[in-house]
């Protein structure tokens, strides 16, 4: 890396060389995050269709293949879907606000991608290792709601606007529960830096992970993440029988695909944050060989896949909740539970050090 930087300095001079090298490095890191993420989104849709098909005793996608290879049947389906979406026309309704109609998908996908800037994939693999990483994540993820509201309003359709209002109320409600759950993680780790949060869970085994002392918060965060991404059984904003697919009812082609990308990117982001906050991030479950020989990024990817499986499992299992049930769960159950846990955690942290050093408190505090 230093030799490449030296070449930049020799070609462009000291000031410009250093600046261009920094720009080229950051752009390389961005591509290294975004390209696998988009591929992950494509094949998450394939995994969803195959896993739910298996649960419902069906076959799922089994036709599109690469170069006619029989044992890859179905694996070409996400590529075929992407090509189809690119070829379709984007129809803008006559009464729609054209500028906002096009801007809404961009406002939805931008925070979903920008949040990945501070995600640590291993101790060394991180684009921006900032101290307020958790605060940045909360700020970015809460901005996605603007795209949804603008999409519903710009379509000039009552159905789309009703879907947008439902989605906005739902996201704001569960954003509070997610935020309080993360406050518990912040209290345990004493840091807003995501790398420090993972290092705070370091120990001999998975018993040191925050999953055990914060298990109710883990459940609240995971279920709130499902609601936040408008996934089943919390997909009342897209209730086909009531409001015809919700806020993106008038979108087609790539404009609709961008909303689709944002939803699945947010699913992967929620799974990643759950792994980092509660499941030890890149840390192995047991700190002995052969577990320690496996690279940390592999452990993180396995944990992400495990959490994503629950997203797909929920969709195949639970019926859609009524709107009032969703609001009641968020406001009357999740938020009180998180507030009680914050008070309980604060009380434990105020105990004398001699008590906190006794088993099992000395594992986490």
In this structure, the answer to whether residues 72 and 105 fall within a common structural domain is no
Q: Are residues 76 and 56 in the same domain?
A: yes
**108 and 63 both lie in a single domain:** no
pLDDT for residue 234? 86
- Range of the structural domain that residue 334 is part of: 91-361
This prediction has a pTM of: 0.92
Q: Are residues 60 and 165 in the same domain?
A: no
pLDDT of res. 334: 94
CA distance 136 to 115: 7
Same domain, 34 and 163: no
Closest CA relative to residue 339, chosen from 189, 148, 203, 187: 187
More confident position, 40 or 128 = 40
Asked if residue 157 has pLDDT above 80, the reply is yes
Tens digits of residue pLDDT in 164-183: 888 888 888 898 999 999 99
222 and 151 part of one domain = yes
Is the predicted pLDDT of residue 55 greater than 90, yes or no?
A: yes
User: Could you write out the DSSP letters of every residue in 287-305?
Assistant: SSTTGGGS-HHHHHHHHHH
Distance CA 261, CA 281 (A): 24
My answer on whether 132 and 213 are in the same domain is yes
Give the chain's domain count: 2
Which 3 state secondary structure label does DSSP give 286? Answer: strand
* Residues 229/267, Cβ–Cβ less than 8 Å: yes
Burial class, 36, CB count within 10 angstroms (exposed 0-12 / middle 13-18 / buried 19+): exposed
pLDDT in tens, 215-254: 999 999 999 999 988 888 888 777 666 656 778 888 888 9
Residue 248: its pLDDT value, please?
Answer: 81
Average pLDDT over residues 247-268: 89
Question: Which uninterrupted H or E stretch holds 245?
Answer: none
Average pLDDT over residues 124-141: 88
Mark whether 233 and 190 lie in a shared domain: yes
User: Does 220 or 1 have the greater pLDDT score?
Assistant: 220
Q: Which of 28, 58, 86 is the last residue of a domain?
A: 86
Residue 90 has pLDDT above 80, yes or no: yes
Summarize the confidence of residues 50-79 as an average pLDDT: 90
Residues 69 and 140 in one domain: no
pLDDT category at 360 given cuts 50, 70, 90 is confident
Rg (CA), the chain: 22
Could you tell me which residue, 242 or 17, shows the higher pLDDT?
A: 17
Percent of the chain exceeding pLDDT 70 equals 96
Instruction: Judge whether residue 270 has pLDDT over 90.
Output: yes
Indicate whether 5 and 32 sit together in one domain.
Answer: yes
- pLDDT, residue 110, reads 92
Please give the full DSSP string across 66-120, using - where no structure is assigned: STT-GGGTTTTHHHHHHHHHHHS-----TTS-HHHHHHHHHHHHHHHHHGGGG--
pLDDT value, residue 3: 75
Residue 363 has what pLDDT?
76
Of the candidates 19, 52, 86, which is a domain's last residue?
Answer: 86
One domain for residues 249 and 138: yes
Q: Find tokens 């159905």 and name the residue.
A: 159
Position 364 pLDDT exceeds 80: no
For the cut 70, the answer to whether the pLDDT of residue 352 exceeds it is: yes
Asked whether residue 1 carries a pLDDT value surpassing 80, the answer given is no
pLDDT for 271-315, tens place per residue? 999 999 999 999 999 888 888 899 989 999 999 999 999 999 999
pLDDT in tens, 328-337: 999 999 999 9
Where among 52, 86, 120 does a domain terminate? 86
Mean pLDDT of the chain: 88
Residue 125 shares a structural domain with residue 11: no
């Amino acid at each position: 890396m230093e030799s490449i930087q030296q070449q930049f300095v020799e070609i462009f001079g000291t000031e410009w060389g250093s600046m261009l090298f920094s720009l080229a490095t950051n752009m390389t890191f961005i591509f290294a995050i975004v390209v696998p993420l988009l591929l992950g989104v494509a094949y998450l849709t394939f995994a969803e269709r195959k896993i739910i098909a298996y649960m419902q005793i069906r076959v799922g996608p089994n036709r599109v293949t690469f170069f006619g290879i029989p044992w890859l049947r179905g694996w070409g389906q996400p590529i075929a879907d992407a090509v189809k979406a690119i070829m379709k026309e984007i129809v803008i309704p006559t009464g729609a606000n054209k500028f906002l109609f096009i801007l809404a998908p961009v406002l939805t996908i931008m925070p979903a991608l920008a949040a990945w800037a501070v995600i640590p994939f291993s101790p060394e693999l991180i684009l921006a290792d900032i101290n307020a990483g958790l605060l940045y994540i909360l700020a970015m993820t809460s901005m996605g709601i603007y795209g949804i509201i603008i999409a519903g309003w710009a379509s000039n359709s009552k159905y789309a606007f009703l879907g947008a209002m439902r989605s906005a109320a739902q996201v704001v409600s569960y954003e509070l529960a997610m935020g309080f759950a993360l406050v518990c993680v912040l209290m345990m780790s004493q840091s807003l830096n995501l790398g420090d949060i993972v290092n705070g869970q370091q120990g001999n085994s998975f018993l040191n992970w925050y999953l055990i002392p914060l298990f109710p918060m883990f459940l609240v965060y995971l279920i709130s993440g499902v609601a936040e991404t408008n996934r089943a059984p919390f997909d009342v904003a897209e209730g086909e029988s009531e409001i015809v697919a919700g806020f993106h009812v008038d979108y087609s082609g790539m404009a609709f695909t961008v909303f689709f990308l944002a939803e699945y990117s947010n699913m992967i982001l929620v799974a990643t944050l759950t792994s980092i906050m509660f499941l030890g991030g890149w840390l192995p479950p047991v700190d002995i060989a052969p577990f320690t020989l496996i690279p940390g990024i592999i452990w993180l990817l396995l944990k992400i896949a495990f959490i994503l499986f629950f997203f797909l499992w929920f969709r195949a299992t639970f019926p859609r909740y009524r709107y009032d049930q969703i609001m009641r769960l968020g406001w009357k159950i999740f938020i009180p539970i998180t507030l009680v846990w914050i008070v309980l955690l604060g009380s434990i942290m105020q105990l004398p050090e001699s008590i906190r050093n006794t088993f099992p408190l000395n594992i986490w505090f």
